[in-house]
Amino acid sequence: KAGVTQTPRYLIKTRGQQVTLSCSPISGHRSVSWYQQTPGQGLQFLFEYFSETQRNKGNFPGRFSGRQFSNSRSEMNVSTLELGDSALYLCASTVRSSGSFVETQYFGPGTRLLVL
Amino acid sequence: AQTVTQSQPEMSVQEAETVTLSCTYDTSESDYYLFWYKQPPSRQMILVIRQEAYKQQNATENRFSVNFQKAAKSFSLKISDSQLGDAAMYFCAYRRLTSTSGTYKYIFGTGTRLKVLA
C-alpha cells in the first residue's frame, strides 16, 4: 500500500496570504489528523477528520480550518498567514487493527511552510 | 489539562551502547496510552513502541523497551545496542479519550534529538 502523501512538500508564502495543504491517507484509512510541528513547541494537534466530519479540534485560531472529502483525502487551509505559522505541517492517517483497542497513526512526510 | 514533558532536548550515545530517553506526563485520567515516535532527519515519523496504561508489564519491541512508572507518571524509552540508524528526533506522546463517543487526541512532548556516535 502507498503511504500517506502530502502536497506540496515545500511552500513559501508572504504574510496575509492564505494557503491550502493536501493530505491523502493510506487507502482504507478514514481518519486523518493534522499537526503543526515547530522547534519550540513540538507537535501540536490541529484537528481530526473522520468520514468527512471534524471529530476533534485543537487550540488553534479560526484561521486554521480543514475539510475531508468522500475519498478520505483531507485539506487544511490557513488564512491571513502570520510569520508564526512557519512550521512543518504533518498529516497522519489512522486505522485500528482488528482485536486492538488503540489505533496506529501513520504520518506523512509533511509540508514545510515558510511565511515571509 | 494533560501535558507531556521531555526534559532532554538532546542526547548522545556511542554506537552499540544503551541510552535512555526520559518522558513525564501529567494526567488525572486512569486509562490512557503512551507512545514513542521516531522522526529521522527528513524522513517520516514512525511509531516505535506503545504502552497501555492498564498493563503493568513494560512494552518491548526488539532493541526498544520502556520503563513505565504509572504512579510517578514516567515513561522512559531505552534503546539497547544503539545503531547509527537510531539517530533521530524522538517524541513521547499521550493519547486520551476526549469524550464518551470514543474520540481522542494525542498530546506530544517537544522531542529529544538523539545523536549516535560511531
Tell me the mean pLDDT in the region A81-88: 96
Task: Give residue B86's pLDDT.
Answer: 97
Closest CA–CA distance from residue B32 to any residue of chain A (Å): 10
pLDDT at B25: 96
Strands (E), B70-103: 74-79, 88-97
Share of chain B above pLDDT 90, in %: 70
Question: A30-54: per-residue pLDDT in tens?
Answer: 899 999 999 878 899 999 999 999 9
- Give the mean model confidence (pLDDT) for residues B57-83: 95
- What's the confidence (pLDDT) of residue B97? 66
- Predicted pLDDT at B103: 60
Nearest to B105 among A3, A42, A58 (CB): A58
Residue B4 has pLDDT above 90, yes or no: yes
Whether residue B10 has pLDDT greater than 70: yes
How does DSSP classify residue B58? P
DSSP 8-state secondary structure symbol assigned to residue A72: S
| Mean pLDDT of chain B, nearest integer | 91
Q: Are A73 and A51 in contact (CB under 8 A)?
A: no
Across the interface, of A42, A55, A90, the residue whose CB is closest to B103 is: A55
| Confidence band, pLDDT 50/70/90 cuts, at residue A95 | confident
CA distance, residue A1 to nearest chain B CA (Å): 16
pLDDT at A56: 85
pLDDT given at position B81: 97
| Inter-chain touch A102–B98, beta carbons under 8 Å | no
Tens-place pLDDT, residues B80-114: 999 999 999 999 999 876 655 556 678 999 999 99
Predicted local confidence at residue B101, as pLDDT: 56
Strand partners, B71: none
Q: Which residues contact A45 (CB under 8 A, 6 or more apart)?
A: A33, A34, A35, A56, A58, B105, B106, B107, B108
How much is the CA Rg of chain B, to the nearest whole Å?
14
Residues of B in contact with A110 (CB under 8 A): 44
How much is the pLDDT for B94? Answer: 94
Contact yes or no for A56 and B98 at CB 8 A? yes
| Confidence band for A94, pLDDT divided at 50, 70 and 90 | confident
The alpha-carbon gap from B97 to the nearest alpha carbon of chain A, in Å, equals 11
pLDDT-derived band at A110, boundaries 50, 70, 90: very high
Task: Note whether A42 contacts B109, CB cutoff 8 Å.
Answer: yes
Q: Which residues, numbered 27 to 86 in chain B, qualify as contacts with chain A under a Cβ-Cβ cut-off of 8 Å?
A: 33, 37, 43-47, 50, 52
pLDDT band of A98, cuts 50, 70, 90: low
